[in-house]
Amino acid sequence: MTSLLGRRHFGCAFCAAAGALTTSCVSDGTTSPGALAPGYRPDAASDEGGLWATMDKAESELKRSRFVVRDAAINRYVGDIACRLGKDHCRDLRLYVIRTPVFNATMAPNGMMQVWTGLLLRVQDEAQLAAVIGHEMAHYLERHTLQRFRDIRAKADLATFLTMGLALAGPIGSVAGLAAQMALLASVFAFSREQERDADRIGSELMARAGFAPGRAADVWEQLIAELAVSTIPAERDPFSATHPDMSERVQNLRALAADKPGGEAAPDRLRLALASLRTTLFQDEIRLRQPARSLVVFDQLRRTIPEDAELAFYTGEVHRLRDQEGDNRLAREAYERAVALPKPPAEAYRSLGLVARRDGDTPTANFAFRRYLDLAPRASDRQIILSYITQTS
C-alpha cells in the first residue's frame, strides 16, 4: 500500500506530537516567518483551502494508481529521509514513489510528496536524494505554490488556473498523466527565480541540520546538466533555455551555500543497499526509454561512485546493443564480457552476449552464451526460441 508518512509516522525520532491545527506562523530561523507550521490545515473556505482541496482530489486519484511503488522498505527509506529533513512536519507528509523513469520529485501544498523512480536511478548517494527532497520541502514549507497562485489570481489569469485545476482533477497515475500535469503545473506554477533561490538556500540548511553533506546538492544539478547536454531534444540540450533557465547558476549558488557547511554524510552505500530491490526495475525502465546517449551518461556517472558491477556493465551493454549503430556491437560485447567476468552476472548478460555474437556471425560464442543463459535460467520463458537459435546454427 501507499506509504503515508502521516499515518505511519515512520518511527520518526524527529517528529514532535501532532501540532494543533493552527495558522500561526513560526520560524526556526531556516524558513521565513510566513512558513508553514507543523499540523497546519487551511480554512476550507479560503483560497488556500481551495488549493488544498484540488490537491487532495489529485492525491485520491494517485493513491489508487498502479504506478505507485508499494514496496514498504523503499517507502520507509525515502520517507525517513524526508522526515530527517522535515522534522516536525514529518506527520504532515505523505510519500508516493512513482514508477516513472524521469528525474523528478514534487511536493504539493497539501503535503503530497512524489519521488519519481528516474530520480532514484540518478542519485549517487543519500545526500543527493536528500538534496532534491530538501529543495522540494523548502517550496512546501515556504508555501511557494500558494504565493504563485495568488500572483496568478492577481493577474486575473483565471482561465489558466481553471485549466490547471481541471487537469489536476483528472486521472493521475501514468507517465502520460503525470507528465502532462506536471508540465502544466510547471507552466502555471513555475516558481520564480527568487523562490528557487530561496528553496536552494533553505534546502541546503535543511540538509546541514539533518546531517547530510550539503555539497552534494550542486552535484545533482551538474549531473543533470551533463545528461541533458546529450539529449536529442534541442530544448533540453541548452541549459540556458526556457526549460532550464538557471541550472548553471544554481550549481554555483549551491556550491557557495555549502561552503560554510562542512561535514555531513553522503552515505552512498546506504542508498545502494536500500534501493537494491528496485535497482533492476530502475535500469529496465531507463533502457526501455531508448534514449541511449542520456542513459550512457547516467551509467557513466554511476560508475564514478561505485566500481562497475555486473548489472551496471550488463545494462551498459544493453544500451549499445539496442542502439545498434556503428561500433555499438563491439562496445556491447565488451560490456557483456565485463559483466559475465564480474560476480553474480545476470543470466540475461549471456543471452545478450549470444545475440551480439550472432549478429557478428560468431556462432561458437553465440551458442556457448545461449547455452550458458539456459543453464543459469533453466525456466526462462524464451527457452524454446533460444534453443531454435542454437539449432539453426548447429
* Contacts with other proteins, residue ranges (CB under 8 A): 64-67, 99-101, 117, 171, 173-177, 179-180, 183, 232-235, 285, 288-291, 322, 324, 351, 355, 358-359, 381-382, 384-386, 388-389
Nearer to other proteins among residue 31 and residue 75 (C-beta): 75
Nearer to other proteins among residue 216 and residue 358 (C-beta): 358
CB 252, min distance to other proteins, A? 28
Residue carrying the nine cell digits 539529449: 231
CB 224, min distance to other proteins, A? 17
Q: Where are the beta strands (DSSP E) in the chain?
A: 94-98, 105-107, 112-116
CB 122, min distance to other proteins, A? 16
**First-to-last C-alpha distance (Å) of the chain:** 50
Nearer to other proteins among residue 164 and residue 258 (C-beta): 164
Report how far apart, in Å, the C-alpha atoms of 314 and of each of 155, 272, 340 are.
53, 17, 8
CB 378, min distance to other proteins, A? 15
Q: Hey, what's the torsion of the CAs at 146, 149, 150, 153, to 10 degrees?
A: -160
Nearer to other proteins among residue 100 and residue 104 (C-beta): 100
Report how far apart, in Å, the C-alpha atoms of 320 and of each of 3, 49, 74 are.
37, 51, 30
Instruction: Compute the distance between CA of residue 93 and CA of residue 20 in angstroms, rounded to an integer.
Output: 16
Report how far apart, in Å, the C-alpha atoms of 319 and of each of 134, 313, 340, 358 are.
32, 10, 16, 17
Report how far apart, in Å, the C-alpha atoms of 75 and of each of 98, 270, 277, 278 are.
11, 14, 12, 11
CB 156, min distance to other proteins, A? 24
Q: Is 113 helix (H, G, I), strand (E, B) or coil?
A: strand
Strand partners, 94: 112
CB 211, min distance to other proteins, A? 33
CB 228, min distance to other proteins, A? 13
CB 179, min distance to other proteins, A? 8
Nearer to other proteins among residue 19 and residue 165 (C-beta): 165
Rounded to the nearest angstrom, the gap between the alpha carbon of residue 81 and the centroid of all alpha carbons in its chain is 14
Instruction: Compute the distance between CA of residue 288 and CA of residue 280 in angstroms, rounded to an integer.
Output: 12
Nearer to other proteins among residue 212 and residue 283 (C-beta): 283
Nearer to other proteins among residue 7 and residue 64 (C-beta): 64
Nearest to 108 by CA among 74, 155, 149: 149
Nearer to other proteins among residue 48 and residue 286 (C-beta): 286
Nearer to other proteins among residue 253 and residue 352 (C-beta): 352
Cβ within 8 Å of residue 149, ≥6 positions away: 47, 51, 161, 189
- Let me know: does 250 contact 194? Beta carbons within 8 Å: no
CB 285, min distance to other proteins, A? 5
